[in-house]
Amino acid sequence: MESFIVKNRILLATLIATVLLFPVFLLAHHSAAAYETQKQITVTGSVTEFHFVNPHVLIYMTAKDEGGTVRKWQGELTSPNRLVRSGWNKNIMKAGDPIALTGYPAKDGGNSIRITKVVLKGQPLASDLEY
């Protein structure tokens, strides 16, 4: 009987620790530390790749900078599950489609953006795409 009580205490302690630590793991995963969340930019160009995958949907594109040089960009969205509820699917865009991404630029100056709004072929898809 004593062994049963000891095992249950260990199980209970493990469950409590898991419940208390789980929110910390969620916050760590959804950190915006790499992005300038006080500033938004819009990048306009053409889709090169679209990855409708977990944990975050990715859009790759090319866009001309102010000097006319073509640059590659990567945009990160929320999960496919959340986007499906907004009407998205894996075939919503393809390479060559004109696109404009608005969102938070990377702090390191790289060509990466945490997307908050997508305009595809001149039509807004979903906005308020926060994580």
**pLDDT value at residue 40:** 95
- Residue at 35 is within a domain: no
**What is each CA distance from 121 to 11, 29, 49, 93, in whole angstroms?**
54, 31, 15, 9
Residues 26 and 45 in one domain: no
The residue range of the domain holding 105 is 41-127
**pLDDT value at residue 122:** 94
Residues 16 and 62 in one domain: no
Cβ–Cβ under 8 Å, residues 57 and 80: yes
Mean pLDDT taken over the chain: 84
Q: Is the pLDDT of residue 5 over 80?
A: no
Q: What is the DSSP letter of 20?
A: H
pLDDT over 90 for what percent of the chain? Answer: 63
**Per the confidence metrics, is the pTM higher than 0.85?**
no
Q: What is the DSSP letter of 35?
A: B
Region of residue 98 (phi > 0: left; psi between -120 and 50: alpha; otherwise: beta): beta
* Domain count of the fold of the chain: 2
Binned at pLDDT 50, 70 and 90, residue 27 comes out as: very low
